[in-house]
Chain A
Amino acid sequence: MRRIVTILALGLLAAGAASSALAASVPNTLKQRIKACTACHGEQGGGGQQDFYPRLGGQHAGYLFRQLREFREGIRAYPVMQYMANRLPDDYLHEIAQYFSEQNPPYPPVAQNTFNPALIVLGRQLTNQGNWRTGVPACEACHGPDLRGTPPYIPDLLGQPIAYIDAQLGGWAAGTRGPKGDVMRWVASDLSQQDIRALDAYLATLRPPGQSHVSLLKPGYQQPRPPVESRVYEFPNGAWGR
């Protein structure tokens, strides 16, 4: 008992010493240290559904670390993130990645979108089956049937804002995201404008089971029309206004 008391006392002393080393007015926590991250991504990494900021909470730590490193090395181009990650050491990036991977922020409700339902159908078809004509593989093939990704590096696709998904597919196609040889680069460059819009629309509506706010994913959902590929590809450019 006495030993426990001593240990406790020592522990308190150590804690006291640690907190007095830092000024009392800010907590010495990672959350406090990374205010630059949470200003946009949210304290739990929930992102912004109406904005551009991706959801980081619950994402695989390996994937998040790799993205941070690629920003730091200029392999993934986005000025704000390149500036933020500039010269931060790997250990710290790991710690930040780990922090966000352990969060579980609520999923925001799906924004009511005005997309042509056919676009959703095409998006789902690409996601589940790919397009053998253009050589685009199904997203499922790597990201898994539930699209939750595969640790460490293949990301969870659920809950990202539509503008973010759109920019990533565009970034891969344009070569401003990921190293040369990254599989997403050639996948994205084989996507048409319609494909990208369709994937944006579809992926942005997805939520994990039990969190679904739209009827699209529920069993028994009736498609507005059958997914006739030729018909889907007849849609003119520019018809997909937001």
Chain B
Amino acid sequence: MKRLLTALPVLIAAWVLALPAAAATGATASGSAKSQQQLIKKGEYLARAGDCIACHTAPGGKRFAGGYALPTPFGTLYTPNITPDNEYGIGQWSFDDFYNALHDGVAPGGVLGGHYLYPAFPYPSYTHIKRSDAKAIWAYLRSLKPVHYQPPQNEMEFPFNIRQALIGWRLLFFHPGTYKPNPKHSKEWNRGAYLVQGLGHCGACHTDHNFLGAKKEGDYLAGGAIPVQNWYAPNLTSNQRYGVGGWSKQEIVQLLKTGISAKNATFGPMSDVVHDSLQYLNDKDLDAIATYLKSLPAKDEPEPPDHQELSKEQRQILYSMGQHLYARHCSECHQPGGEGVKSIYPPLKDNGAIIARNPVDPIRMILQGGFEAPTQGNPRPFSMPPFAQILNDKQVAALATYIRQSWGNDASPVPPSLVEKYRTINMK
């Protein structure tokens, strides 16, 4: 009894003391719930900017559950599940684990043991992401519904299946470091540079790669062949001929937002990027990206690897054959003068993607056609018919040659053998 009597004041004291504390926690809890919501929203936006969904979602699969087959020159990778599932996703990860993956390209230890990530995951770009932004993305990913799904095992060829081999690659080509604002430039420029170099990982395609799949930094955004997918990502520097030198900022913003502008329409993988990512960015960020791109000093295009010389006679035959075919199949939409129809059918005249040194884009567009990117700003896109079913290799080469050499375009002719190469590849 005596014990109880002593205990009572203590209990009361404890209760009294606990009251304000409890009230305080309650207040922070609701306050933090609100800021947590804001953080998640910010993270969702940034995850869009990083286009995580494109690779971490399989066709017809659950969002962010991975399993998307990513073909590389070194074998096929299956993207991991990044929903917070404890067994197959990142449910067991801490924020630091996540940050290390983004910033250093290292997956956490545990049962599997820590391991180096393949740079198909664009951590050489994501390393520029600010820690505070990574926190927001993390909060967003943690807020997703866990998906209990195990993506297939990677099918990498020897020796690329040995992740330790990446040590050498990292030493040579990986430079970790958060983006450092350049005080010589405006806030807007720096925001654009941050988005382009970091989350946007534009250089992953628009910069040429060496034989080990690393970006050639000297050719940053000067255009690049996309390995395995067999598309060419055009020059984004201020080069007047190949790049965006002749574009207004507004035209760049328009393209990124809707997939089409007066200067060009997106196609191939870029349509997916616009659909999944860029159309969701706010105008301020798109403006910032355009400001940064317009400031990039003009760089020339990298030379394409297989360059076959054609005789003068061969070129003439291709050109006149192409002229005939163009009038028959193309001029109705792209117009006899190649100027297209504004913001519906892209011009072929002065179009950096058409006259790029690497002619894969015009060849593939003639072969497979396709719809423009469906976006909020263009939900019922126009389309181009495929011609693979009615034109043979020589005819496609002739058409590509004609459009690359007319109306002031003066790019190289296209040999039929190159068409044959692209006729049989995976379309995507």
Q: How far is it, in angstroms, between the C-alpha of A142 and the C-alpha of B38 when the chains are bound?
A: 52
Contacting residues, chain A, for B271 (C-beta < 8 A): 86-87
Q: Is B427 an interface residue (CB 8 A)?
A: yes
Q: How far is it, in angstroms, between the C-alpha of A73 and the C-alpha of B59 when the chains are bound?
A: 5
Contact with A along B355-371 (1 / 0, CB 8 A): 00000000000001111
Q: How far is it, in angstroms, between the C-alpha of A39 and the C-alpha of B391 when the chains are bound?
A: 13
Contacting residues, chain B, for A83 (C-beta < 8 A): 368, 370, 427-428
CB pair B344–A26 under 8 Å, yes or no, is: yes
Q: How far is the CB of A176 from chain B (nearest CB, A)?
A: 13
Q: Which of B276, B341, B368, B374 contacts A26 (CB 8 A)?
A: B341
Q: How far is it, in angstroms, between the C-alpha of A72 and the C-alpha of B384 when the chains are bound?
A: 18
Contacting residues, chain A, for B382 (C-beta < 8 A): 26, 32-33, 35
Q: How far is the CB of B102 from chain A (nearest CB, A)?
A: 26
Q: How far is it, in angstroms, between the C-alpha of A39 and the C-alpha of B367 when the chains are bound?
A: 12
A84 and B385 in contact (CB under 8 A), knowing A33-B380, A73-B59, A79-B426? no
A88 and B371 in contact (CB under 8 A), knowing A26-B344, A74-B60, A75-B60? yes
Q: Is B333 an interface residue (CB 8 A)?
A: yes
Q: How far is it, in angstroms, between the C-alpha of A237 and the C-alpha of B427 when the chains are bound?
A: 35
Q: How far is it, in angstroms, between the C-alpha of A125 and the C-alpha of B373 when the chains are bound?
A: 47
Q: Is A118 an interface residue (CB 8 A)?
A: no
Q: Is A89 an interface residue (CB 8 A)?
A: yes
A39 and B344 in contact (CB under 8 A), knowing A74-B59, A95-B380? no
Q: Is A23 an interface residue (CB 8 A)?
A: yes
CB pair B379–A89 under 8 Å, yes or no, is: yes
Contacting residues, chain B, for A74 (C-beta < 8 A): 58-60
Q: How far is it, in angstroms, between the C-alpha of A25 and the C-alpha of B384 when the chains are bound?
A: 16
Q: Which residue of B lies closest to A96 (CB)?
A: B380
Q: Which residue of A lies closest to B369 (CB)?
A: A36
Q: Is A34 an interface residue (CB 8 A)?
A: yes
Q: Which of B335, B369, B374, B428 contacts A39 (CB 8 A)?
A: B369
CB pair A39–B380 under 8 Å, yes or no, is: no
Contacting residues, chain A, for B386 (C-beta < 8 A): 36, 39-40, 80
Interface size counted on chain B using CB atoms at 8 A: 32
Q: Which residue of A lies closest to B390 (CB)?
A: A39
Q: How far is the CB of B59 from chain A (nearest CB, A)?
A: 4
Q: Which of B59, B379, B381, B389 contacts A91 (CB 8 A)?
A: B379
Q: Is B299 an interface residue (CB 8 A)?
A: no
CB pair A23–B341 under 8 Å, yes or no, is: yes
Q: Which of A22, A75, A82, A87 contacts B275 (CB 8 A)?
A: A87
- Which secondary structure characterizes the binding site on chain A? helix
A-B CB pair tally, cutoff 8 Å: 85
Contact with A along B174-212 (1 / 0, CB 8 A): 000000000000000000000000000000000000000
Q: How far is the CB of A13 from chain B (nearest CB, A)?
A: 22
CB pair B60–A35 under 8 Å, yes or no, is: no
Q: Is B131 an interface residue (CB 8 A)?
A: no
CB pair A25–B341 under 8 Å, yes or no, is: yes
CB pair B379–A33 under 8 Å, yes or no, is: no
Q: Is B164 an interface residue (CB 8 A)?
A: no
Q: How far is the CB of B49 from chain A (nearest CB, A)?
A: 18
CB pair A80–B368 under 8 Å, yes or no, is: yes
Q: How far is it, in angstroms, between the C-alpha of A26 and the C-alpha of B373 when the chains are bound?
A: 19
Q: Which of A28-83 contact B (CB under 8 A)?
A: 30, 32-40, 72-75, 79-80, 82-83
Q: How far is it, in angstroms, between the C-alpha of A109 and the C-alpha of B54 when the chains are bound?
A: 46
Contacting residues, chain A, for B60 (C-beta < 8 A): 73-75
Contacting residues, chain B, for A39 (C-beta < 8 A): 369, 385-387, 389
Q: Is B345 an interface residue (CB 8 A)?
A: yes
Q: How far is it, in angstroms, between the C-alpha of A38 and the C-alpha of B386 when the chains are bound?
A: 10
Q: Which residue of A lies closest to B426 (CB)?
A: A79
Contacting residues, chain B, for A82 (C-beta < 8 A): 59, 427-428
Q: How far is the CB of B281 from chain A (nearest CB, A)?
A: 17
Contacting residues, chain A, for B384 (C-beta < 8 A): 35-36
Q: Which of A25, A36, A91, A95 contacts B385 (CB 8 A)?
A: A36
Contacting residues, chain B, for A26 (C-beta < 8 A): 333, 341, 344-345, 382
A23 and B374 in contact (CB under 8 A), knowing A36-B385, A87-B272? no
CB pair A36–B371 under 8 Å, yes or no, is: yes
CB pair B344–A22 under 8 Å, yes or no, is: yes
Q: Is A233 an interface residue (CB 8 A)?
A: no
Q: Which of A25, A35, A89, A91 contacts B383 (CB 8 A)?
A: A35
Q: Is B145 an interface residue (CB 8 A)?
A: no
CB pair A33–B383 under 8 Å, yes or no, is: yes
Q: How far is it, in angstroms, between the C-alpha of A93 and the C-alpha of B369 when the chains are bound?
A: 18
Contacting residues, chain A, for B58 (C-beta < 8 A): 74
Q: Which of B342, B381, B426 contacts A23 (CB 8 A)?
A: B342
Contact with B along A177-198 (1 / 0, CB 8 A): 0000000000000000000000
In the complex, 7 of the A-B residue pairs with CB atoms within 8 angstroms, ordered by the A residue number, are A23-B344, A36-B386, A39-B389, A40-B386, A74-B60, A83-B427, A88-B374
Residues of B with Cβ closer than 8 Å to A?
58-60, 271-272, 275-276, 333, 335, 341-342, 344-345, 368-371, 373-374, 379-387, 389, 426-428
Given contacts A33-B380, A92-B374, 14 further A-B contacts (CB under 8 A): A23-B341, A35-B384, A36-B370, A36-B383, A40-B389, A72-B59, A79-B426, A82-B59, A82-B427, A87-B272, A88-B381, A89-B379, A92-B379, A92-B381
